Amino acid sequence: MALAMAALLWCILFAGCANHKIEREFFFKKPVSTRMDRLRQYSLDDQYRIFRYGNDRFEPPLTGLAMPIAERGQSAVAFLLERLSLDADDITVRDVLSLFEAMGSIKSYDVKSDLSVMNTLRYRVSTMKDQEWKVVCSKMLRRIESN
């Protein structure tokens, strides 16, 4: 909790969360050729914010930004589950699910063997409101289960 409050305070004071300054100014305005190396140097919280920004603001979405988070494996699991428990909207569920799918794909974490994670993912997908995203996420879930 204290870490979350400190991150929020830092964001408000220095990065300007509302205008995504860290994402725009400190990350995406720098060379694409060094993007992944730079992303690996950020905290998990900042990596996640940059990943979400890249998915939400670019077309096509910059889904490759998932790799540094997925590479963290088990050390990122609690953080990602928190994202799902904070009244997550359908897009958050989709993005977190894609991170777990990437973990399974690169074998940094055995997602399908973690019953607690799988139950949480199944529940969150089952409660999605947007039916099109629900179909997409159901397919991701099946890929995780078969990986």
Tell me, what's the pLDDT at 61? 84
Tell me, what's the pLDDT at 38? 84
Per-residue tokens: 10: 């830092």
Cα separation of 66 and 55, whole Å? 10
Task: Kindly indicate the confidence band of residue 29, based on its pLDDT and cuts at 50, 70 and 90.
Answer: low
The model's pLDDT over 77-130, given as tens digits with 9 standing for 90+, comes to 999 999 998 688 999 999 999 999 999 999 999 999 999 999 999 999 999 999
pTM to 2 decimal places = 0.80
Opening angle at CA 58, ends 48 and 39, nearest 5: 35
Cα separation of 90 and 125, whole Å? 8
The model's pLDDT over 30-61, given as tens digits with 9 standing for 90+, comes to 667 777 888 898 899 999 998 998 888 888 88
Tell me, what's the pLDDT at 1? 47
**Cα pseudo-dihedral 33, 92, 134, 147, rounded to 10:** 60
Q: How far is CA 65 from CA 28, 38, 85, 100, in A?
A: 12, 11, 22, 13
